Structure 1
Amino acid sequence: MMKRDRLSAIRQILYSSGSSSIEEIAEAVGASPATVRRDLVTLESAGAITRTRGGARIADSAGIEVAFQHREQQNLAAKRAIAEAAFETLAPHCSLFLDAGTTALQLARCIRLNPMPLSVFTNCLVTAQHLMDVAGIKVTVIGGVLRTENASMVGSLAEELLDRLWFDHLFLGAGAIAEDLSIYSLDEAEARLNEKMLTRATLKTLLVDHSKFGRRLTYRVAALAPEIEIITDDGLEASWRQRLADIGCAPRIVAVPKGASEGLE
């Protein structure tokens, strides 16, 4: 395989899987580990990937999101623990909005396993599919432009519809929580819609695992504020816990079972 083709193949592997080891990439492209290491240096210099210990992952700054079904597996044990904690806050007959994040999807699965009468609104097609045949749950999908990377509906139509709705509880994910203590997204339309969501709910809960802290993506959603509850896992560094407490956003920390599979890092 020529180098140009090999670099393209490596990018595609990381796009599909999120991250891979050098050995896995070498086997997939038919090259030696030494050659793959040199290729990864080239791709990292171009901003396409980020090298990790023993492998690489797609770069946040590359502007490419990992396919939904693969991102769903990243830090899966933490996402499940966070979702279970969020489920404990639900009350029958309330109205919820679940965003298109993969941790909110885990909350939808908790609801499916332990159903109660709820009105669930979402902009995520996958979430709607998980709840559409559950007795006692009324599911509403807001319309808009389909964003295939996240299986979500976004755009001006979705934003206009939110202006006509009010929710008892919003559960929102985040692509990143940056050093400026703001929520960020990789996609402009998703960021605008998430910002609108935060203005349309009585209770606002951010579902975000520890890996999202200290990162920055392109589009700012909103600044963290005391009225936004944060549920995260016990992998969050003590310095971040203190910074959040200092602005009135002390997070609720949930324990991830020891030995649980974390999926892709």
Structure 2
Amino acid sequence: MQSDRINKIQHHLYSAGFANVQELAEATGASIVTIRRDLQRLEENGIVTRTHGGARLAEAAGPEMAFQSRVQENLEAKRAIGEVAYGLLQPHTTVFLDAGTTVLQLARRLRVEPIPLTIFTNGLAVAQDLVNVDGLSVNLLGGQLRNENLSMVGPYAERLLGEFWFDQLYLGTSAVRGDAQMYTLNPAEASLNRAMIARTSQTILLADASKFESSAPYAVAPISDIQTVITDSGLDAAWKARLAKLKIDTTLVSLGRK
């Protein structure tokens, strides 16, 4: 309960910029005394800055909270996709997990029920979630930190990829546009994703249905470069037909909502 309340406080502050104690109490259903105690703890951890009567996120917490907000988007679908992806993992293989928020759900599933694997990732959140998990050898790719995605990108990261070969790549995407290409929001990330695809035997795209016909500016690769797509049952019929025509193995996970 405390963890849920703390998360609600942080997300409310991220959305509002500033909130007084009363507003936070109403947003979380907690007492004012409890909120004041929570804010004191968050300030001690460097997450918020308290002001007279309220609080705002500490400046350094902005990118992390932006990432955490994206983690919460379409969370049911992302968790269901992560569950199916977990079933594709093979013990004693070498796997690359990219920095996407859907791939993060696969990492969290793996933490619950570990499989002996060698893991490479460019995602700080992915690496952090897999700290001290039995049977995993976790390797974090070096490079330039991309704050918005808590990921490592850039030419140094790409050079490092050239030294490895992966049995599987679990890849996220910002968008799959009508031209049947995957897109992302950052040119360095797009370039690194292309390098990932070139260094793996099997690329598995983890993307909820909202990513199809969405938009982002930087092309990564044609979706025909992907061997497997795991998405949710919200995918429209036209995209189902296109993926079938491209002979891409596609799994649609069912969601609880009607």
Q: With structure 1 as the length reference, what TM-score do the two structures score?
A: 0.73
Give the aligned partner of residue 88 of structure 1: 87
Describe how 1:89-104 pairs up with structure 2 within 5 A: 89-104=88-103
What is the distance in 1 between the residues matched to 2:250 and 2:107?
21
Deviation at 1:247, TM superposition (A): 1.7
Greater shift, 79-88 or 240-249, is seen at: 240-249
What secondary structure does 1:71 align onto? helix
Q: Tell whether the 8 Å contact from 1:99 to 1:172 is kept in structure 2 after alignment.
A: yes
Give the aligned partner of residue 152 of structure 1: 151
Describe how 1:2-81 pairs up with structure 2 within 5 A: 16-17=14-15, 67-81=66-80
Deviation at 1:258, TM superposition (A): 3.0
What is the distance in 2 between the residues matched to 1:171 and 1:238?
24
What is the distance in 1 between the residues matched to 2:65 and 2:221?
23
Give the aligned partner of residue 49 of structure 2: none
State how many pairs are aligned: 205
Q: With structure 2 as the length reference, what TM-score do the two structures score?
A: 0.74
Describe how 1:244-263 pairs up with structure 2 within 5 A: 244-258=243-257
What is the distance in 2 between the residues matched to 1:254 and 1:233?
4
**Closer, same or farther: CA 248–146 of 1 in aligned 2, 3 Å:** same
Give the aligned partner of residue 59 of structure 2: none
Deviation at 1:245, TM superposition (A): 1.2
Give yes or no for the alignment of 1:238 onto 2:229.
Answer: no
- Report the residue type matching 1:230 in the other structure: V
What is the distance in 2 between the residues matched to 1:91 and 1:67?
33
What is the distance in 1 between the residues matched to 2:103 and 2:71?
10
**Closer, same or farther: CA 243–65 of 1 in aligned 2, 3 Å:** farther
**Closer, same or farther: CA 211–116 of 1 in aligned 2, 3 Å:** same
What secondary structure does 1:174 align onto? coil
What secondary structure does 2:202 align onto? strand
Deviation at 1:251, TM superposition (A): 1.9
Q: Tell whether the 8 Å contact from 1:108 to 1:127 is kept in structure 2 after alignment.
A: yes
What is the distance in 2 between the residues matched to 1:116 and 1:240?
33
Give the aligned partner of residue 139 of structure 1: 138
- Report the residue type matching 1:101 in the other structure: G
Q: Tell whether the 8 Å contact from 2:64 to 2:150 is kept in structure 1 after alignment.
A: no
Deviation at 1:228, TM superposition (A): 2.3
**Closer, same or farther: CA 80–117 of 1 in aligned 2, 3 Å:** same
Give the aligned partner of residue 6 of structure 1: none
What is the distance in 2 between the residues matched to 1:210 and 1:66?
24
Give yes or no for the alignment of 1:109 onto 2:108.
Answer: yes
Q: Tell whether the 8 Å contact from 2:174 to 2:211 is kept in structure 1 after alignment.
A: yes
What is the distance in 2 between the residues matched to 1:92 and 1:182?
31
What is the distance in 1 between the residues matched to 2:12 and 2:197?
32
Q: Tell whether the 8 Å contact from 2:205 to 2:226 is kept in structure 1 after alignment.
A: no
What is the distance in 1 between the residues matched to 2:93 and 2:222?
26
What is the distance in 2 between the residues matched to 1:205 and 1:181?
16
Give the aligned partner of residue 167 of structure 2: 168
**Closer, same or farther: CA 227–190 of 1 in aligned 2, 3 Å:** closer
What secondary structure does 2:76 align onto? helix
- Report the residue type matching 1:256 in the other structure: L
Identical amino acids, percent of aligned pairs = 48
Give yes or no for the alignment of 1:183 onto 2:188.
Answer: no
Deviation at 1:171, TM superposition (A): 0.1
**Higher relative contact order structure (alpha carbons within 8 Å, sequence separation ≥ 6):** 1
Runs of 4+ off more than 6 Å: none
Q: Tell whether the 8 Å contact from 2:100 to 2:173 is kept in structure 1 after alignment.
A: yes
Task: In structure 1, list runs of 5 or more residues that go unmatched.
Answer: 1-12, 19-23, 25-63, 260-265
RMSD: 2.5
What secondary structure does 1:251 align onto? strand
Deviation at 1:143, TM superposition (A): 0.2
